[in-house]
Amino acid sequence: MSVTKLELRTALGPVYRDVLPYEPRDCTPDEIPVIDLELMFSGELSDRKKVSSAIRAAAVNNGFFYIKNHGIPSQTIERCKGQILNFMRQPLEMKDRIRSHKYSKYYNGYLGRRKAQISPTETADVRESFTFRYSPELDPDHPKDISEVPEEIRRWIRGEDFVWEGTEHLPDFKRDCVEYWSSCLRLARKLVRIFALSLDLDEDYWDEKVTYPGADGVFNYYPTRTQEEIEQKFVGLGSHTDLQLFTLLWQDSVGGLQVLTREGQWIRAPPIDGTLVVNIGDYMMRLCNDIYKSTVHRVTNESTQERVSMPFFFGLNFNCVEGVVPSCTSDLNPARYEPISCGDWCQMRFKMENEAFKQKEAQKLMAPSAVVISG
């Protein structure tokens, strides 16, 4: 059996995962379970611990699970999805008014079709995206003007206003996007407590470290592929792991998300009505000394329908320098990672990805007759 190596980017250089030589198949309910969050909202610690054990079991297995009864109203989701379509269906020059490569210091704004490549060994991504990042005035739990944020955290705040200024012509766009993002942020602050319990830490272990957290709202739009893109096997979004503690992901009913199991088999994670997907990010994997694995995933868009997904990437306050947590080490299993701030961790990888892409574009310009198929 010939196993291939998949190269992935991390802030500290490439890592590799084995891939088995079989076609993707549907997942089983054990591989990507559906976890009911109802008891997370209970006042009884023993109830919350039931949820945390289910999460632990999923996190040590494939690191991917669905959540139901998560508390985000379906109208909030639908309104936000409608706004993404309003934005994405505009002519390119309107979207380019908030073009990330031109206007953003921190990777906010619009990224066009094939204007990024998340996987070093696959094609550019057909996905288009709109990104906005944590701003204290949008925080649903304690909105604050940026001037009130402590100085050591303020320099890590990554929100930028141009994304809202350049979308003011779309009625209620900001309101509906922020409503969804705020609901995700509230949910993530609850879930991070359950994650703490799941690692035998006190429930409030990270509470003080998620006051101005990494909270990136990204809205993905996968247009249907052109004939040329189909022939050249363009990916929707190439194979990657997410960066922070965990990701909450809503996907519409089109499908296309695939997950690499621990054994190296690609499995499909189909849309399930009323659920969000949760997956472990690289920063969490570091903090728990690899007990939880950040999960490799990718999106193919073979459908003849456009697709929308809405990930929310959640991490610690970007100034927090955090190492492996005490419950995940022992004499026999010492910490495998040095402490690093969540902000540096993210910044380094974003920069690396962006620079690699620019370099590839520059090479294409130098040899315009060359057809770059992939890689």
Ligand X SMILES: O=C(O)CCC(=O)C(=O)O
| Residue from 122, 242, 252, 353 binding ligand X (CB under 6 A) | 242
112 is written with which tokens?
């066009």
Residue nearest Fe ion (C-beta atom): 242
Query: Rounded to 5 degrees, what angle do the CA atoms 204, 12, 17 make?
Result: 90
- Site membership for ligand X, residue 248 (CB under 6 A): no
User: Residues 6 or more apart from 295 whose CB is under 8 A from it?
Assistant: 62, 63, 64, 241, 259, 260, 279, 280
- Site membership for ligand X, residue 237 (CB under 6 A): yes
Q: In this chain, which stretch among 94-102, 137-145, 180-188, 249-257 interacts with ligand X, using CB under 6 A?
A: 249-257
- Site membership for ligand X, residue 213 (CB under 6 A): no
- Site membership for ligand X, residue 176 (CB under 6 A): no
Residue 267 CB, nearest approach to ligand X (Å): 14
Of residues 49 and 115, the one with the C-beta less far from ligand X = 115
- Site membership for ligand X, residue 218 (CB under 6 A): yes
Using CB under 5 A as the binding rule, the residues of this chain from 241 to 280 that contact Fe ion are 242
262 is written with which tokens?
């621990």
Neighbours of 364 (CB within 10 A): 12
241 interacts with, out of Fe ion, ligand X, none, CB within 5 to 8 A per kind: none
- Site membership for ligand X, residue 296 (CB under 6 A): no
| Count of positions on this chain that bind Fe ion (CB under 5 A) | 1
- Site membership for ligand X, residue 245 (CB under 6 A): no
Residue 241 CB, nearest approach to ligand X (Å): 9
Please name every residue paired with 128 in a beta bridge, in sequence order, or none if there are none: 221
HEC per residue, 197-242: HHCCCCCCCCHHHCCCEEEEEEEEEECCCCHHHHHCCCECEEEECC
- Site membership for ligand X, residue 309 (CB under 6 A): yes
- Report the C-alpha gap between 318 and 192 in whole angstroms: 16
- DSSP letter (8 states) at residue 295: P
| Residue from 104, 123, 182, 220 binding ligand X (CB under 6 A) | 220
- Report the C-alpha gap between 209 and 218 in whole angstroms: 22
Task: List residues binding ligand X (CB under 6 A).
Answer: 218, 220, 237, 242, 249, 251, 257, 297, 299, 309, 311
